[in-house]
Every structure is written in C-alpha cells, then in structure tokens.
Amino acid sequence: MSGAAHLAGFLDMLQAERGASQHTIDAYRRDIDDFLGFAATHALALGDIERRHIAAYFEAQARDGLAAASRARRLSALKQFSKFLVASEVIDDDAFELVRGPKQARALPKVLSIADVDRLLTAAAKRAETASGPDGLRALRLLALVEVLYATGLRASELVALPRSVLTGDGKILTIKGKGRRERLVPLTGAAMAALARFQAATGRDAADNLATGASDYYLFPSRGAEGHLTRQRLGQEMKDLAEAAGLDPDRVSPHVLRHAFASHLLDRGADLRVVQQLLGHADISTTQIYTHVLQERLKQLVFQHHPLSKER
C-alpha cells in the first residue's frame, strides 16, 4: 500500500474511533501529506524513515518560515500517524517517538475589552435596524451570530453548524456537541435569545428573501453551499466588516477573539475557572488557564500606566 492509502486508513480511524470533525481531519491530512511529499522526494519508504530524516524535514520547514506552533502541530500529527503505522504492523520502529518539538513561547490570546464588544454589538444592532430586504436578513443573521458567540463562547465551527433543533424546549440553554463529540450545556443571554428569535421570525416571514432558499432546513444558519450551513470563513469576513463599521481594527476581531473575550470577561468578574472550562468545552483545564495569564498581564499594565511611582523608578 502507498503512503496515501495508509493515510486514508489513519484518517478513517480518527473519524470512526475518536469522532474527529471534518475540520480536524482536513488539518491532519494537510500536515501528513506534506511530510509524505518530502519522503517521496527523497525516495524514502515509510519503513526507511529515521530520526535524521525527520530532523532534516523540520529544519527545512523552519528555514521556509513555518512558525514554531505550526511545526509543533505538524509533529504531533506525524507522531500519531507513526503510532498508527506501528500498531497496523506497517513499520517496525517508531522513528517519531523520541523526537522533541520546537520550543515556543505560549502566546496570550487576543482579547477585546468590554467596551470594544459593546461597540461591535451596537454596530450589529444598528445594521439590523436600518437594512432591508436580503441585506436586512443578513444583518439580522449577523446580529444573532455575534450575540450568541459572545453569550456562549462557542467555537466558530460549533456555532455555524448548530442544528435548528437546538432551539427546542425553552431555548434558554443550548446542548452543544463539541470536539470528540463531547456534549456540554451553555446558557443563552436574553439579548442572544431575542436576536435569534428576530432572525428566525424574519426567515419564516419572508421565504423569498431567505438566505438559503432551496437549502436544507436542518441548520440554524443554512446556506446553499456544499456544507449546508454558513461557513466559518464567511462568518470571519462578516465580522471584520462589522469591526470596521464599529471603528475597531479588523485584524483584532474574529470569531475566536470573541470566544476569548467571553472567557476573559467571565473570569474578570469572578467566575470559577472550572465553570469556564466546561462552558468552553476544554478537555484540559490547563487550556483554560491561559485566560488567567491574560488578566495578570492586564493588571500589570494598569499598575505600570497608573501607579504614581511607576515612572519614577
């Protein structure tokens, strides 16, 4: 079997046994495909790969400017693929087992202030009030998306793929299936529920202007595209446009940044770290702890900027 065939088997295993999302599958495919291309260029069969070959590959990646975080992610994917090959008896030795990833400083997430988020939400609400026709429907959709995103801290992929059935019941709590198909409950704010209700009413009232006429009615935010729902990329583009309208730097605004803001603002007001972990759907609390570092950095900046002695020393 070729390397590509073994990769297909590995990806099938990830999907069947670990419940990996299509986004995760695609990321693994890209990372492992790149290394398989390197191996083919150097006429290396899977069983011929040694640590020196792996070192040469990652040295080339670094020279080409691939960030340390991206190299670490790629190494993680290759380590899992190599373990799969050993377990499948395709190769005898795991050359990746003792390979160490690049050292990298853990970057603090970008976070919007409460005032920034308020400006973003205000701009979205203003659009929803003033636009009409298809533009009005898109404005109502964006308002619902941004309100729900800030109210719940959902991942962009989770938000755009919400099924319409998620609103059954009283609509105050959403049941989310996140990474690894783990379920969690997230409450909605009154503003988020109101924005969703307005969007739902508008799509039902004027089907001719529906953003997804002819598409499946399975998704809460349907689309005529191949995925059947609004894409993460389209949501990101619309949020950057909204940031400009709100007078914010578009480079500082994205669905993931609003997820960071949700977590940081909760912790800033005394929320328990374990509760925030559950709301975000983090498997490991160490992932959630990065937000405590954000708050610490903010406190340092406040002291340095405003303490009367900070500029005298």
**Catalytic site residues?**
155, 179, 256, 259, 282, 291
Rounded Cα distance between 23 and 32, Å, is: 15
Q: Within 10 Å of residue 216's Cβ, how many Cβ atoms?
A: 12
Rounded Cα distance between 255 and 245, Å, is: 16
Tally: H helices and E strands in the chain: 13, 2
In the 3-class helix/strand/coil scheme, how is 129-174 assigned residue by residue?
HHCCHHHHHHHHHHHHHHHHHHHHCCCHHHHHCCEHHHHCCCCCEE
Rounded Cα distance between 65 and 57, Å, is: 13
**Three-state secondary-structure class, residue 302:** helix
Cβ atoms of 14 and 20 within 8 Å: the answer is: yes
